[in-house]
Amino acid sequence: MSPSPVWHPFTQHGLQEPIPLVTHAEGASLFTADGRRVVDAISSWWVTTHGHAHPRLSRAIAEQAARLDQIIFAGWTHEPAETLAAGLRALMPPELTRVFFSDSGSTSVEVALKMALGYWLHRGEPRHRILVLDHGYHGDTIGAMSVGARGVFNHAYEPLLFDVETIPFPGSGREQEALDALERACRTRAAAFLVEPLILGAGGMLIYSPQTLAEMRRICLAYGVLFIADEVMTAWGRTGTLLACEQAGVVPDILCLSKGLTGGAIPLAVTMATEPVYLAHYGQERSRMFFHSSSYTANPIACAAANANLAIWREEPVLDRIADLSRRQAERMSALAAHPAVTNPRQLGTIAALEIGRPGGYLSDLAPRLLAFFRERDLLLRPLGNTVYVMPPYCISDADLDRIYQAIEHACELV
Ligand SMILES: *Cc1c(COP(=O)(O)O)cnc(C)c1O
């Protein structure tokens, strides 16, 4: 067989690691061309919420594809987008009155940043400085990398990344230091504070308290700094509630949603905004309009999948399933926590994480060994350095969860 021309993301092809060929999937199971069933322990990179090939999502996609596949969204509209925008307005905090569509989490963040800068410019008070949390991750485009943690991931592009002001991560015991730094930064006319609420995903599943999130929101409000919540990973029940912000009683000025928006079936993102952010762009002058679009903005097929996801949320006991998975994760984590190689076991809703051995960073040699170890055991787990986390679809069975945790326990012997 000639080698595949595919260039994979976050893959070093020179290491010749096997790349499984997946033919179909159902629930928390992936089936490969060589006849294996692999348990998806990370929801295919945090997107799959209700399970793979969910009948309601698949049906919505098929029906919409046969009716209206794609239409320009600048100056035109369609029923799936209108229904979705109305559904999101009803489901999300009432202050978030406006829905702007795009295609990925990275883009939803870029849109949020452009909205924030437009807001300040059109108010006649231009501000450009963006505040971010240390260890944050917001995507891989140049703008999204600029507001994320710097490291080996973006070293080559660093000269192109714009400057931001980084607030220390408010880990346990360091909350006040972070809040003080945020307050100092807000005083000097920052445009916006961009934050992953309650848990920093790609930064290593780092958890901080709802009280700190609420305090951060309060500080931004006091200084008129826009508060942007990147809930691309945390929304749709991941942290135990529909939005992570809910646990802190926080409503952002701008909200980014993507991954679980379609239940994980097809790409789509939205950036929701409050009326003042929208009205800053509103008027008779064409120069004030929001200058952003992509070819597939609000693609009808993707919107139909998102509508089916919203229907599942409205009609099925999704929060009960999430509470049940959270409890089942907690049981297994507490059993594993006693292992001498395990450090910092932690959990937030359906997400459980721990470190095996001592930290070695993303390029530590333990990471590829762990990856191979789990792959050989037919588990899709993708540690961040030596941080192993479990973030399965909500429908995962007890037997599959046991398989995951047994493998992690055995992986502890690798250190
Ligand atoms: C995954 C992620 C993104 C980027 O989303 P993509 O769809 O991969 O572009 C942005 N922010 C957070 C918090 C994420 O977890």
pLDDT (tens digit, 9 = 90+) per residue, 172-228? 999 999 999 999 999 999 999 999 999 999 999 999 999 999 999 999 999 999 999
The finding on whether 139 has its CB within 6 A of some atom of ligand 1 is: yes
Buried b (16+ CB within 10 A) or exposed e, 389-408: bbbbbbbbeeebbebbbebb
- Residue 139 CA, ligand 1 centroid: distance in Å: 5
Residue ranges per structural domain of the chain:
13-53+318-414, 58-315
Question: What pLDDT shows up at residue 191?
Answer: 98
Spatial CB neighbours of 351, under 8 Å, sequence gap ≥ 6: 199, 205, 238, 239, 329, 389, 390, 391
Residue 340 burial (C-beta neighbours within 10 Å; 0-12, 13-18, 19+) = exposed
Q: Is the pLDDT of residue 278 over 80?
A: yes
CATH level 3 topology of 13-53+318-414: Aspartate Aminotransferase, domain 1 (3.90.1150)
Tell me which H or E stretch contains 195. Answer: strand 192-195
* Cα distances (angstroms) measured from residue 186 to each of 127, 134, 226: 12, 16, 10
Q: How many CB atoms lie within 10 A of CB 59?
A: 13
Domain range 58-315, CATH class: alpha beta
Q: What is the mean pLDDT of residues 386-411?
A: 97
pTM for the model stands at 0.97
The finding on whether 235 has its CB within 6 A of some atom of ligand 1 is: no
Nearest CA to ligand 1 atom 11: 138
Q: Is the pLDDT of residue 358 over 80?
A: no
Q: Which atom of ligand 1 is nearest to the CA of 106?
A: 9
Q: Which atom of ligand 1 is nearest to the CA of 234?
A: 13
- 3-state SS class at 171: coil
Q: Which atom of ligand 1 is nearest to the CA of 231?
A: 13
- 3-state SS class at 40: strand
Identical topology for domains 13-53+318-414 and 58-315: no
Question: What pLDDT shows up at residue 14?
Answer: 94
Q: Is the pLDDT of residue 360 over 80?
A: no
